[in-house]
Amino acid sequence: MLTILFVAFLLIEVCGRFWLSSRQIRHVMQHRETVPAEFREKISLASHQRAADYTVARARLGMFERLFDATVLVCLTLLGGLQQIDLWVSALTTHDLLRQILLLVVLTVIVSALGLPFSLFRQFRLEEKFGFNRMTLRLFVMDMIKGTMVGAALGLPLIAAVLWLMAQAGSFWWIWAWALWAAFNLLALFIFPTWIAPLFNKFTPLSDEALAIRIRDLAHRAGFGLSGLYVMDGSKRSAHGNAYFTGFGKSRRIVFFDTLLGKLSASEIIAVLAHELGHFKHHHVTKRMIKGFAGALVFFALLGWLAQQTWFYTDLGVLPHLNGRNDGMALILFFLVLPVFMFALTPVFSWFSRKDEFEADRFATQQSDAQDLVSALVKLYDDNASTLTPDPVHSAFYDSHPPASVRIRHLLTSP
């Protein structure tokens, strides 16, 4: 039964993504030759066409990549790929915990290697073609090595602890595993800004003291404690501009990409940060974290039940070990197939995200000039080659932010 459901949901997901991407491509190309009226004085036709071409190129690559990923998924599950990998790993060691950790490591390496050509193409062909890539091949390789080392240092102990709990903590192991996972995520929020992020980028204090004073005043009005204002050398990888909040509690900091500071005026930067502080003021981050932890608890409970069902393995192309633990395989199967069944919920998550964006925008208009935020957004849409004419259905299904025209109309009409 699970086999039929898995194939049906996979077909729905792949066909659904192709249909949505086809709509997006068709809609964007139909509007390629005309800049929307509300943007005509601020964005040139050449920039609008560049954004359309960039959007279409990304959509086409995404379609091909999803088809490839779906093929790999079927090969790993129904066509016996995982079974063969498990047999090979089992021949290397009979130690249960080591065997399962090795199985997870080998699968991660295989999947990462299969996805590497897409990462290389996206960075050095697609992003390069549209003028966004600043990364060298050497930096790409160094990032990959560092990412692997950090992932191993943090991930392997976590996986080992979860596997140990699955074997030793009884039928309610999933509660303890969930608590461990939640604690790990909270710890990551603390250590990321000061320990992990500096491994990949250089962070320097914001040197514009006048801007820093305005930012601290804005943060104080919003009740947002800051540990620092930093500029990140994002330009060594990409021409895309961005800014973000990071950290938790007293470790909070605001980070600007150096590419952003040269594009926006001080008032526009304040408006953008006011929007981000709106998320904090409305407790969006905390609410999302609570919802995420609650959802994870449900998934851990479901995994706790599925891991005990023989059909869960056999219907997905794997013969479970009769004289050993199958916890590692249960984790692999669960997280491989879960996205297929979750696809239908994508528009629900997108809707809630857009709702939060509108609330944050309203807060920004109360703390800064709405025209400054509109001006900043238009510049960012232009510089990042974000399409101004997305397909409405595609946007409603996927987009975490409202379409440009809808968002700006709300900003200009909000009380």
Does 415 have pLDDT greater than 70? no
What are the tens digits of pLDDT across the range 83-111?
Answer: 999 999 999 998 999 999 999 999 999 99
Position with higher pLDDT, 169 vs 415 = 169
Task: Return d(Cα 32, Cα 26) in angstroms, integer.
Answer: 10
Any known ligand binding at 279?
Answer: yes
pLDDT class of 298 with cuts at 50, 70, 90: very high
In contact, 251 and 190? CB cutoff 8 Å: yes
Instruction: Calculate mean pLDDT across residues 124-140.
Output: 94
Domain boundaries in the chain? Answer: 1-132+308-415
Neighbours of 223 (CB within 10 A): 9
- For the sheet containing 243-246, what is the strand order? 203-205, 229-232, 253-257, 243-246
User: What is the reported pLDDT for 15?
Assistant: 97
Choose among 330, 246, 233, 305: nearest CA to 280.
246
Does 252 have pLDDT greater than 80? no
User: What is the reported pLDDT for 255?
Assistant: 87
Any known ligand binding at 31?
Answer: no
User: What is the reported pLDDT for 249?
Assistant: 63
Choose among 49, 38, 57, 52: nearest CA to 378.
38
Instruction: Calculate mean pLDDT across residues 285-310.
Output: 95
The single residue of 86, 127, 276, 356 carrying the catalytic annotation is 276
Q: How far separated are the first and last CA of the chain, in Å rounded?
A: 54
pLDDT class of 403 with cuts at 50, 70, 90: very high
Lowest mean pLDDT across 94-108, 245-259, 263-277? 245-259
Position with higher pLDDT, 189 vs 373 = 373
Instruction: Calculate mean pLDDT across residues 344-352.
Output: 96
Lowest mean pLDDT across 247-256, 305-314, 343-352? 247-256
Any known ligand binding at 127?
Answer: no
User: What is the reported pLDDT for 219?
Assistant: 86
pLDDT class of 377 with cuts at 50, 70, 90: very high
Does 275 have pLDDT greater than 80? yes
Choose among 156, 89, 96, 171: nearest CA to 325.
96
pLDDT class of 352 with cuts at 50, 70, 90: very high
In contact, 7 and 20? CB cutoff 8 Å: no
The single residue of 13, 356, 361, 391 carrying the catalytic annotation is 361
pLDDT class of 243 with cuts at 50, 70, 90: confident
SS3 annotation, the chain = CHHHHHHHHHHHHHHHHHHHHHHHHHHHHHCCCCCCHHHCCCCCHHHHHHHHHHHHHHHHHHHHHHHHHHHHHHHHCCCCHHHHHHHHHHHHCCCHHHHHHHHHHHHHHHHHHHHHHHHHHHHHHHHHHCCCECCCHHHHHHHHHHHHHHHHHHHHHHHHHHHHHHHHCHHHHHHHHHHHHHHHHHHHHHHHHHHHHHHCCCEEECCCHHHHHHHHHHHHHCCCCCCCEEEECHHHCECCCCEEEECCHHHCEEEEEHHHHCCCCHHHHHHHHHHHHHHHHCCHHHHHHHHHHHHHHHHHHHHHHHCCCHHHHHCCCCCCCCCCCCHHHHHHHHHHHHHHHHHHHHHHHHHHHHHHHHHHHHHHHHHCCHHHHHHHHHHHHHHCCCCCCCCHHHHHHHCCCCCHHHHHHHHHHCC
Average pLDDT, the chain: 92
361 in active site: yes
In contact, 52 and 392? CB cutoff 8 Å: no
Instruction: Calculate mean pLDDT across residues 61-73.
Output: 97
Choose among 233, 224, 213: nearest CA to 251.
224
Q: What count of residues does the chain have?
A: 415
pLDDT class of 285 with cuts at 50, 70, 90: confident
Instruction: Calculate mean pLDDT across residues 339-348.
Output: 96
User: What is the reported pLDDT for 189?
Assistant: 83
pLDDT class of 237 with cuts at 50, 70, 90: confident
Does 259 have pLDDT greater than 90? no
Lowest mean pLDDT across 4-8, 9-13, 197-201, 307-311? 197-201
